[in-house]
């Protein structure tokens, strides 16, 4: 029986494991194993909401063991730390609880086909102090850590003397991409909600300051300019302090310094600028003499061919943010959630065909546009349509509905129609009795 091991339970990895489990695992045609260092999955585009505390994590989390049982694949808890390409084995690190007690020991896992989908992490470009004094919003763990610090700061504010006209809390967000823009709006809405639950000194117009810093000349620099202008207009309307064309050169425990000389006094700093693949991918598969590692690029991404197959090992595939997949125009597939989803569906359909030794067409990225959520205030988007030339701009309620539909598409891929309908009904019921904001 073919042993297919998938490393990484993000949006793409979990969707692939689910689909292969239904198509191959259920029929006994292959043994599918998903490996992740966490026990639950949260859709990554929701991290800004998790950080702000504006949704119930337990309602959104998908438990890997349960998903595996329902969809005919296996789950292993662990983190990939070693790979022996000749023996077709991989090494998983031991896992530990918060007290340092061992949960699972170091393990060795054999495979016939390996799929790597470990996503990306925030790139601080070596900026002094960024690693020590900022929170990188690239994982559920980091988002929860930020939320804990935010709530603690709000509680602390109730015990100190309030100085009129002075903000008691400043949150500085470095990076004006999708994550930074969405977090800015979500934090403003969260602060307003907290004020209704007895937190008196967190009015985002007077007591809490939200600062967004972007090195490029405009926000959302990789997206259409109209989206950038609309997002900037909405953020400034709600009082977010936006600085573009400002490069951060140092982060300290209580400040952020720009190359222009401007200094921002910062209580909490979030780094949301730039992405790269994990550093360990640079040496993955290397032998003791340093040779034999899989090919990577300057962003640590694994270089793959058009069918997502590693350039140096036909038994290893990679996709999503951790892979550099070429396109016909010479570019590579952008590190976006929609690309990871498309690649997962590509492999779900064509990996069994490739394993049977049959040729397949290479993956071609289809840009379906972009959507940016500005919390309760608005959404902006640029959609690609076959009936139009180029893209068309949307905003407001239509864009918010499209953003909601993207989340439902992810839930459909993992649970099917019946479960997605039940989840949606549960969300509607929860809104009637749960706080608007997470208070713990």
Check residue 431 and give its pLDDT: 56
Least confident of 220-224, 231-235, 251-255: 220-224
Higher-pLDDT residue of 384 and 166 is 166
Candidate ranges 58-72, 111-125, 219-233, 372-386; pick with highest mean pLDDT: 111-125
pLDDT of residue 195: 66
31 with 101, same domain? yes
What pLDDT, on a 0 to 100 scale, did the predictor assign at position 385?
Answer: 42
The reply to whether 190 and 261 lie within a common domain is yes
**CA 12/CA 118 separation, integer angstroms:** 9
Regarding whether 281 and 265 lie in a shared domain, the answer is no
Per-residue model confidence (pLDDT) at position 372: 77
Among the ranges given (233-242, 272-281, 410-419, 426-435), the one the predictor scored with the smallest mean pLDDT: 426-435
pLDDT tens digit string along 32-50? Answer: 999 999 998 888 877 888 8
The Cα 140–Cα 55 span in angstroms is 13
Residue 390 pLDDT more than 70?
A: no
Query: Looking at the predicted structure, is the pLDDT value of residue 393 above 80?
Result: no
Q: Does 39 lie in the same domain as 83?
A: yes
Q: Is the confidence at residue 113, as pLDDT, over 90?
A: yes
Q: Which residues share a beta bridge with 269? A: 172
Q: What is the dihedral sign for C-alpha 294, 295, 297, 302?
A: negative
437 domain residue, yes or no: no
Of 107, 109, 85, the closest CA to residue 32 belongs to 109
Q: What residues form DSSP beta bridges with 271?
A: 136, 174
Let me know whether 237 and 210 are in one domain. yes
Across the range 242-246, mean pLDDT stands at 96
345, part of any domain: yes
Domain boundary among 251, 273, 295: 273
Within a domain: residue 57?
yes
pLDDT of 427: 63
Give the model's confidence band at 151: pLDDT under 50 very low, under 70 low, under 90 confident, else very high.
confident
29-43, 115-129, 141-155, 329-343, range with the lowest pLDDT: 141-155
In a domain, 364, yes or no: no
What percentage of the chain has pLDDT greater than the value 70?
81
Together in a domain, 346 and 385: no
Q: Is residue 125 part of a domain?
A: no
pLDDT of residue 139: 86
Q: Look up the CATH number of the domain holding residue 115.
A: 3.50.50.60
How does pLDDT run across 341-388, given as a tens digit for each residue?
A: 999 999 999 999 999 999 999 999 988 777 777 776 666 655 544 334
193 vs 270, residue with greater confidence: 270
- Rounded mean pLDDT, 380-408: 54
> Residue 439: is its pLDDT beyond 50?
no
Q: Show the DSSP H helices in 134-280 as ranges.
A: 140-157, 178-195, 225-237
Q: Which residue pairs, CB below 8 angstroms and at least 24 apart, start in 357-361?
A: 360/307
Question: Do 108 and 183 have their domain in common?
Answer: no
**Band of residue 209 on the pLDDT scale cut at 50, 70, 90:** confident
> Which residues are registered as beta bridge partners of 426?
none
Enclosing domain of residue 110: 2-120+277-355
**Strands across the sheet containing 391-395:** 369-374, 378-384, 391-395
Among 328, 355, 382, residue at a domain's last position: 355
Is the same domain home to 16 and 38? yes
pLDDT at residue 375 in the model: 72
* pTM of the predicted model over 0.75: yes
Q: For residues 139 and 253, state if they share a domain.
A: yes
Q: Are residues 138 and 264 both part of a single domain? A: yes
Q: Say if residue 179 is in the same domain as residue 266.
A: yes
What local confidence, expressed as pLDDT, does residue 197 receive?
59
Helix (H, G, I), strand (E, B) or coil at 111: coil
C-beta neighbour count of 214 within 10 angstroms: 27
11 lies in a domain?
Answer: yes
Q: Of 273, 297, 325, which residue is a domain's last?
A: 273
Question: What is the structure's pLDDT at 389?
Answer: 43
Say what the pLDDT of residue 189 is.
Answer: 83
C-alpha to C-alpha distance for 118 and 317, rounded to whole angstroms: 12
**pLDDT at residue 56, rounded to an integer:** 59
Distance CA 170, CA 210 (A): 6
Is 308 domain-assigned? Answer: yes
Among 285-299, 364-378, 410-424, the minimum mean pLDDT is found in 410-424
Say how many domains are in the chain. 3
Distance between CA atoms of residues 142 and 154, nearest Å: 19
Give yes or no: residues 116 and 25 share one domain. Answer: yes
70-74, 158-162, 414-418: which is most confident: 70-74
Q: Is residue 327 part of a domain?
A: yes
Question: Collapsing DSSP states into helix, strand and coil, what is residue 95?
Answer: strand
């Amino acid at each position: 029986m073919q042993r297919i091991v998938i490393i990484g339970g993000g949006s793409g990895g979990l969707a692939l494991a689910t689909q292969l489990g239904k198509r191959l695992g259920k029929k006994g045609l292959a043994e599918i194993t998903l490996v992740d260092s966490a026990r639950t999955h949260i859709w990554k585009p929701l991290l800004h909401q998790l950080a702000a505390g504006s949704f119930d994590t337990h309602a959104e989390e998908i438990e890997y063991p349960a998903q595996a049982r329902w969809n005919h694949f296996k789950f292993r808890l662990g983190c990939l730390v070693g790979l022996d390409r000749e023996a077709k084995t991989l090494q998983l690190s031991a896992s530990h609880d918060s007290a340092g007690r061992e949960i699972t020991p170091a393990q060795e896992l054999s495979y016939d086909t390996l799929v790597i989908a470990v996503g990306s992490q925030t790139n601080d470009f070596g900026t002094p102090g960024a690693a020590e004094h900022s929170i990188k919003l690239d994982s559920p763990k980091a988002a929860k850590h930020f939320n804990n610090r935010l709530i603690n700061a709000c509680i602390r504010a109730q015990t100190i003397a309030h100085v009129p006209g002075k903000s008691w809390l400043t949150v500085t967000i470095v990076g004006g991409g999708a994550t930074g823009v969405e977090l800015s709006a979500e934090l403003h809405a969260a602060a307003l909600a907290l004020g209704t639950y007895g937190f008196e000194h967190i009015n985002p117009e007077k007591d809490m300051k939200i600062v967004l810093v972007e090195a490029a000349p405009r926000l959302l620099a990789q997206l259409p300019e109209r989206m950038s202008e609309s997002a900037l207009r909405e953020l400034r309307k709600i009082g977010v302090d936006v600085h573009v064309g400002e490069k951060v050169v140092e982060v300290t425990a209580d400040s952020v310094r720009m190359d222009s000389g401007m200094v921002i006094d910062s209580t909490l700093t979030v780094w949301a600028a730039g992405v790269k693949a994990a550093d360990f991918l640079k040496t993955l598969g290397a032998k003791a003499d340093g040779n034999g590692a899989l090919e990577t690029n300057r962003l640590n991404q694994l270089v793959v061919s058009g069918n997502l197959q590693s350039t140096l090992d036909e038994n290893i595939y990679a996709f999503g943010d951790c892979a550099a997949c070429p396109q016909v125009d010479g570019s590579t597939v952008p590190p976006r959630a929609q690309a990871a989803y498309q690649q997962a569906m590509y492999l779900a359909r064509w990996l069994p065909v490739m394993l049977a030794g049959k040729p397949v067409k290479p993956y071609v990225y289809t840009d379906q546009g972009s959507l940016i959520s500005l919390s309760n205030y608005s959404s902006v988007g640029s959609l690609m349509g076959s009936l139009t030339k180029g893209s068309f701009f949307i905003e407001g309620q239509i864009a918010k509905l499209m953003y909601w539909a993207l989340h439902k598409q992810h839930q459909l891929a993992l649970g099917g129609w019946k479960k997605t309908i039940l989840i949606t009904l549960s969300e509607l019921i929860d809104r009637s009795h749960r706080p608007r904001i997470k208070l713990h």
